[in-house]
Amino acid sequence: MTTSGQEGRRRQLAVASDPRVARTRRDIVAACRELLRSDRPVSVAAICTRANVGRSTFYTHFATVGDVAVAAVDQLFDALTVKDIERRSESALRRSEIVRIGLADLLRGALEERPFFLYALAAPAAERVRERFASDLASSLQHTIRAERPNASEAFYRTAADFTAHGAVGALLDWVADPAGRTEAQMIDFLAELLPRWLTDETA
């Protein structure tokens, strides 16, 4: 299979509904997480041993260990987006409260997955990884924006999501690299100020 064909297959598997595929990916991500948290050397061989999968299975799903780290962050963004949409559609909470709860979840999730963030950003292609994180968050944010602005144009959804995601990811990654720089409460305040008012204010 060509390199482009392999990448296409990996993208398909990343969103596949087959529970066996999802379980294999979860096992690989979990094995990588355990290794990163243990400060042991992280390699494809070590991940395969811990996840009890063959190297061919690993490479069917991921090209590099860095791709595993990016996948873990993708999963975090996706899970948080689902929770945010549920709050906005079902909750009696004010928008400002929903935003602060969502930001708190984001910061705690980022700290929980901090080894993945740091590993991915230490790679030679760190700038590409940053762009990937921003792109993935923008894709997730479009769902939240659609829930708040159901009659807006597709161009609005894309532009608003891209603009918001790039600012948020830049601030988030700086904080993940040095969490001592701001408390969680200070980061929530800071990120909330970056968001457009129609996402946070009741009167917007």
User: Token digits for 125?
Assistant: 């292609």
| pLDDT computed for residue 81 by the predictor | 87
Beta carbons within 8 Å of 87's beta carbon, 6+ residues apart: 93, 98, 101, 102
Q: Quick one: pLDDT at residue 38? A: 92
- pLDDT single digits (tens) 102-144: 999 999 999 999 999 998 888 777 888 888 889 988 988 898 8
What pLDDT is attached to residue 147? Answer: 85
| 1 pLDDT above the threshold of 70 | no
Contact indicator for 61, 24 with CB cutoff of 8 Å = yes
Residue 2's pLDDT is 57
The pLDDT value given to residue 17:
78
* Residue 96: predicted pLDDT: 87
- Give CA–CA dist 65/88, Å, rounded: 35
> Whose CA is closest to 29, among 55, 50, 6?
50
Mean per-residue pLDDT, 168-185: 91
Residues sharing a CB contact under 8 Å with residue 17, sequence separation 6 or more, in sequence order? none
Does the pLDDT at position 33 exceed 90?
yes
Least Cα distance to 118 among 72, 185, 75 occurs for 72
95 or 188: whose pLDDT is higher?
A: 188
12 or 191: which carries more pLDDT confidence? Answer: 191
Evaluate if residue 3 carries a pLDDT over 70: no
| Burial of 162: CB neighbours in 10 Å, binned 0-12, 13-18, 19+ | middle
